[in-house]
Amino acid sequence: MARPKSIQTDTILEAARKVFMRDGYQAGTARIAREAGVSEGSLFKHFKSKANLFLAAMEVEAGVTAWEERLMAGIGQRDPRKALESAGIQLLEQLRLTLPRLMMINASGVTIPNHNLPGEVPHPVQKMDVLCRYFTAEIRAGRLSMASPRIQAHIFLGALAHYAWCETLFSYRSATPAAYVKTLVDTILKASLVKSRRGSRTAGTTRSSRKKNHE
């Protein structure tokens, strides 16, 4: 589960966003540290690399509880449909904000950084990992049934990213963001919500009852 961001982390992210937007990715981390009023060493205690800092800064959204925290906190309790719709809307808002920024930086001739440090996970894959952990936990709780939680997580995130790309590049929207997310969640859960003994879709059936039904 993602940890809540500290005040210092928010300050670093805001400073990094300001510097990167002004000077591009080539801006030095020492300059960002000065803007944030912290040491360069403190900066790297919060972020493993400049690449991670850059991508996190492009998504900064002050005052909003991270979608990861809210999603994971509702495991086994919150209705999966409502949980995924909430996460999907916030993720899509982040992507709609981030993609134009990344395109602007890339247009300046700066290549989006690779993640080459040992143990470093690309930002999109981190998001996919959270979704995969959520799906896996709900499967263990007997509320969802999926053959491949990771593929479902990839599909969910990929569909959101595609919406944001179409809107950013072509000004095309097949539906409003809210309607798109609702339809996407309906599609993901159509074959994933566990059936109750009465035959209706529910999030409360246990594994044992599903096994008994198969027998």
Q: Are 29 and 41 in contact (CB under 8 A)?
A: no
Query: Chunked in runs of 10, what are the mean pLDDT values of the chain (215 residues)?
Result: 59 89 85 93 87 75 67 96 96 85 68 61 85 97 96 97 93 96 96 65 44 43
* pLDDT score, position 195: 65
Task: Tell me the two tokens of residue 106.
Answer: 């890339």
* pLDDT score, position 159: 97
**Measured between alpha carbons, how far is 152 from 156 in angstroms, rounded to an integer?**
6
CA dihedral 14, 18, 21, 22 (to 10 degrees): -170
Question: At residue 154, what is the residue type?
Answer: H
* pLDDT score, position 117: 60
Domains, the chain, with CATH or none: 1-63 (1.10.10.60), 66-214 (1.10.357)
**Measured between alpha carbons, how far is 188 from 150 in angstroms, rounded to an integer?**
12
- Which residue from 159, 158, 150 is spatially nearest to 131, judged by alpha carbons? 150
For the question of whether the overall pTM of this predicted structure is more than 0.75, the answer is no
DSSP for 60-115? --TT---HHHHHHHTTTTS-HHHHHHHHHHHHHHHHHHHHHHHHHHHHTTPPPPP-
* pLDDT score, position 29: 93
**Measured between alpha carbons, how far is 158 from 34 in angstroms, rounded to an integer?**
36
Place of tokens 């944001």: 164
* pLDDT score, position 120: 67
* pLDDT score, position 121: 73
**Measured between alpha carbons, how far is 58 from 24 in angstroms, rounded to an integer?**
12
